[in-house]
Amino acid sequence: RGALRLVLGDQLSEGLSALSDIDPARDVVLMVESVAEATAWKHHKQKLVLVWSAMRQFAERLRAKGLRVRYVTLDDPDNTRTIAGEVTRALGEGAFDRVVRTACGKWGLEQALLNLDVGVPIETREDDRFLCSRAEFAAWAEGRRELRMEFFYREMRRRTGLLMDGDKPAGGRWNFDPENRKKLPKGVRPPQRLRAAPNATTQTVIEMVSAGFDDHFGMLDAFGWPTNPEEAEATLEHFLAHMLPEFGDWQDAMAWEQPFLWHGLISPALNIGLLDPLDICRRAEAAWREGRAPLNAVEGFIRQIIGWREFVRGVYWLKMPEYGLRNALEAEGKLPWFYWTGETDMACVADAVRSARDHAYAHHIQRLMVTGNLAMLLGVHPDAVDDWYMVVFADAYEWVEMPNTRGMATFADGGIVGSKPYAASGAYIDRMSDYCKGCRYDVKQRLGDDACPFNALYWDFIDRHAQRLAGNGRMLMPLKTLSGMDEAERRAFREKAAALRSAMGV
């Protein structure tokens, strides 16, 4: 008898550890289109299409290599709807003496699979597509008073040798962030993006999802995500050649109806295994060494991948399941309805929600400083914030979504991922975008009907959490400004914020 090799929808890498020593004569690869996984959150239609189309094409590639694949489609009448159910059903046929799998990216599913009692051994292997294993991260974190991405990142630079000149960082600095905060000058527009036109498999899955998952969030018309390695390679190559040189300069910029700017658009493919993080970074480094892209852009880009991406995954596995219950700011509010409909006069929010609806994507600064910032200032419960981010983005998997949402964007983790809340008033959004000039609200006003809602909400937030934030050196400035306000002014912000919350259904 052989091994049943389980491959999940975000494990579509031919070098996956669960497949490394596969015996084509005796082993079978199990892949499952699971209704339970697709509807635990009502994922964006584009995410369903991406994952199922990519899974089907992955199965075909394995078959072409001579491997046997048991692929359970959604419409298979015997599909038990869950991954655990399908493992049990396959084993019931008696042809396997063990299960081999790669550890998954969701704590709850991992527990379910670890505790599965199926009468044969289940071997769980490390997901070595990440550059830092869970054990290595835990060893790095051991004994540290605080976990700071910057120090972890330096370790990762040393370990991978990326952007290193001997034991020194290339260019004499580890971090070129200060150069990467420019506002987009008027009239500067990014080059046209290369998007992947839906191939035949993707077309079939688009029809299936349109028919069966119409009640899920989002539009399918503009689907353009890569669903196989060739399409992912084309997306990456286009980014490296045309976008990377300016990625740094405009990394934090936002612009009306410009959903992609100079960003990579690689996370949907990367997170399901169609791209390899180290390969991406080596090629970005080569672009700098060969004079095709400046160091501030390449360093900023590589930091996102070997720094932030690996760091948040490390935090997730180190702190779960307790992390998923954290609510350090005691936020209890509901998510405003316009996060789902985009029906708001706040131009910045409407643009981010439109991007999420049309593309299952919003770039980092929209996620952090618009939708995340607003949810934190309003005091929306972190569970509701998590749910939204899990649903609306094509790249959302709990290991990366949750630390970004509960940690970086809303400070619900109390300061594990970030050293301070990324709270900002309208002035920040105005500085980094062209949103405010076309907005019904006036970003300069703090009170009154036309005032930008971010302003009163920001000062109310600082006021509400003043005690909690008092020991945080990075919050000194706003706390000092707050203490210079008289009680009447503070009350006016409190009242305005309460009215805004009520009007937004929080």
Measured from the CB atom, the residue of 158 and 444 that comes closer to ligand SF4 is 444
DSSP conformation class of 264: -
Please identify, using beta-carbon distances, which residue of 230 and 343 lies nearer to ligand SF4. Answer: 343
Tokens representing residue 370 in the block: 């618009």
Tell me whether residue 397 is exposed, middle or buried, using C-beta atoms within 10 angstroms of its C-beta: 0 to 12, 13 to 18, 19 or more. buried
Is residue 379 at the binding interface for ligand SF4, with CB under 6 A as the rule? no
Q: Which is nearer to ligand FAD, 338 or 422 (CB)?
A: 422
Query: Does residue 354 belong to the site contacting ligand FAD (CB under 6 A)?
Result: no
Q: How far is the CB of 460 from ligand SF4 (least distance, A)?
A: 15
Least Å distance between CB 399 and ligand FAD?
9
Using rule CB under 6 A, residue 409 touches ligand FAD: yes
Among residues 439, 469, 500, 504, the one that binds ligand SF4 under rule CB under 6 A: 439
Helix, strand, or coil (residue 421): coil
Expressed in percent and rounded to 5, the helix, strand and coil fractions of the chain are 50, 5, 40
Closest CA to 426 of 329, 336, 500: 500
Instruction: Mark the segment that binds ligand SF4 (CB under 6 A) among 160-168, 218-226, 438-446, 471-479.
Output: 438-446
The span from the CA of 101 to the CA of 383, in Å, is: 29
Quick one: 206 or 376, whose CB is closer to ligand SF4? Answer: 376
Which residue, 50 or 346, has its beta carbon nearer to ligand SF4? 346
Q: Which of ligand FAD, ligand SF4, none does residue 408 bind (CB under 5 to 8 Å by kind)?
A: ligand FAD
Member of 54, 99, 380, 396 binding ligand FAD (CB under 6 A): 396
Give the Cα separation of 56 and 236 in Å (integer): 22
3-state SS class at 333: strand
**Residues in 444-483 that interact with ligand SF4 by CB under 6 A:** 452-454
Kindly report the three-state secondary structure assignment for every residue of 70-119. Answer: EEECCCCCCCCCCHHHHHHHHHHCCCEEEEEEECCCCHHHHHHHHCCCCC
Per rule CB under 6 A, is residue 430 in the interface with ligand SF4? yes
Chosen residue from 4, 49, 206, 312 binding ligand FAD by CB under 6 A: 312
Taking phi over 0 as left and psi of -120 to 50 as alpha, with beta for the rest, 291 belongs to left
Out of 58, 441, 461, 493, the residue judged to bind ligand SF4 by CB under 6 A? 441
Instruction: Of 273, 468, 440, 458, give the one whose Cα is nearest residue 348.
Output: 440
Q: Map tokens 């003496």 to a residue.
A: 97
Phi, psi of 5 (to 5 degrees): -105, 110
Q: Does 162 bind ligand SF4 (CB under 6 A)?
A: no
Q: How far is CA 203 from the centre of its chain?
A: 25
Please identify, using beta-carbon distances, which residue of 213 and 262 lies nearer to ligand FAD. 262
User: Count of residues for the chain?
Assistant: 506
* Cβ proximity to ligand SF4, 294 vs 453, nearer residue: 453
Task: Report the residue closest to ligand FAD, judged by CB.
Answer: 264
**Are the C-beta atoms of 257 and 276 separated by less than 8 Å?**
no
Which of ligand SF4, ligand FAD, none does residue 17 bind (CB under 5 to 8 Å by kind)?
none
By a kind-dependent CB cut-off of 5 to 8 A, residue 348 interacts, out of ligand SF4, ligand FAD, none, with ligand SF4
Query: Which residues inside 340-369 make contact with ligand SF4, applying CB under 6 A?
Result: 346-348
DSSP codes of every residue in 281-316:
HHHHHHHHHTTSS-HHHHHHHHIIIIIIIHHHHHHH
Contacts of 341 (CB under 8 A, 6+ apart): 353
Determine if 224 is a binding residue for ligand FAD (CB under 6 A).
no
Two tokens at 468?
């909690």
Residues 291-310 close enough to bind ligand FAD by CB under 6 A: 304-305, 308-309
Task: Please pick, from the candidates 393, 411, 435, 454, the single residue that binds ligand FAD as defined by CB under 6 A.
Answer: 393
Maximum Cα–Cα distance for the chain, whole Å? 79
> First CA to last CA across the chain, in angstroms?
57
Single out the segment in contact with ligand SF4 by CB under 6 A; choices: 109-117, 129-137, 171-179, 434-442. 434-442
Nearer CB in complex with ligand FAD: 68/193: 193
Three-point CA angle 492, 327, 42, nearest 5° = 105
201 lines the binding site for ligand FAD (CB under 6 A): no
Specify the stretch interacting with ligand FAD by CB under 6 A; choose among 29-37, 113-121, 321-329, 394-402: 394-402
Choosing from 201, 202, 228, 405, the residue that interacts with ligand FAD (CB under 6 A) is 405
Query: Is position 314 an interface residue for ligand FAD (rule: CB under 6 A)?
Result: no
Residues pairing with 32 in the sheet: 72
Tokens representing 145 are 């008073």
User: Should residue 391 be labelled a site residue for ligand FAD when binding is judged by CB under 6 A?
Assistant: no
User: 426 is in the binding site of which of ligand SF4, ligand FAD, none (Cβ under 5 to 8 A by kind)?
Assistant: ligand SF4
Residue 225 identity: W
- Cα separation, 259 vs 272, in Å, equals 22
Residue 231 vs 430, nearer CB to ligand SF4: 430
| Closest distance to ligand SF4 from the beta carbon of 359 (Å) | 20
Binding residues vs ligand SF4 (CB under 6 A): 346-348, 426, 429-430, 435-436, 439, 441, 443, 452-454
Binding residues vs ligand FAD (CB under 6 A): 263-267, 270-271, 304-305, 308-309, 312, 363-364, 367-368, 372, 389, 393, 395-396, 400-401, 404-405, 408-409
